[in-house]
Amino acid sequence: MPRSKSYDRDTVLRNAMQLFWAKGYERTSITALEDAMGINRFSIYDTFRDKKGLFLASLRAYGDEITARQTESLLDPGGAAGIRMFFGTLLPAPSRKTNRGCLVMNSLVELSGRDRDIDAAIAANLRFVENRMHKTVHRALTSGELVSDRSARELARQLLSVTQSVLAFSKTGYGYPIAKAAIAGVLTSLLPPETGSGANRDRPKSPPETKMGPTR
């Protein structure tokens, strides 16, 4: 009768995902994974086969947990409001000391073209985001919230490209304002101006008009 494992697979996998996210694939050693996961390398190999297998499982877990949650607004409320909400929460606070960016984007930069299985896992995550963007853009076009002579798929891919650029640039102090400008630019170019009481909240107020007295 096989021995039952004394650890929870989801818990140790989440710990591995966090380490890969912080350090990248190449800089993460098996010893570091043992420490982070709280299990020995034999258990890692038994459950995930090897470091690559563990990394692929981490990418899937990232997609299921982080990517799905970060893109939820594209489905609810969806449409123009969902696009604004998504980009409004994409950047971390500038006061945050460390910005790990996105595990998928980091892996794309580090490992693209080196392994077919990893390339496929990265593409699957990006396709997931693109499809959610396509769904909300199609809804916005159909409802008239968004007017464009380009297809929903083309616009979704533009949003995906801006998203990945923002995630890369925002990792540095120099790039953070560039990332903010990219978000402002795509929202201004694609979406109609916001209406309602909150639309002008951050707009500077004009000085009161000075009435001129009669001239002599």
pLDDT by residue (tens digit) across 32-91? 999 999 999 999 999 999 999 999 999 999 999 999 999 999 999 999 999 999 999 999
What pLDDT does residue 92 have?
84
Q: What is the pTM of this model?
A: 0.85
149-199 pLDDT, tens digit each:
999 999 999 999 999 999 999 998 899 999 999 999 999 999 887 765 444
Among 137, 165, 140, residue whose Cα is nearest residue 152: 137
- 5 pLDDT band, cuts 50/70/90, is confident
The arrangement of secondary structure in 8-70, i.e. its CATH architecture, is Orthogonal Bundle (1.10)
Three-state secondary structure of 115-167: CHHHHHHHHHHHHHHHHHHHHHHHHHHHHCCCCCCCCHHHHHHHHHHHHHHHH
91 vs 99: CA distance, rounded Å: 9
Parse the chain into domains and list their residue ranges.
Answer: 8-70, 71-90+100-191
What is the sign of the dihedral through the CA atoms of 145, 148, 151 and 153? negative
The residue behind tokens 């693109």 is 130
Domain 71-90+100-191: homologous superfamily in CATH: Tetracycline Repressor, domain 2 (1.10.357.10)
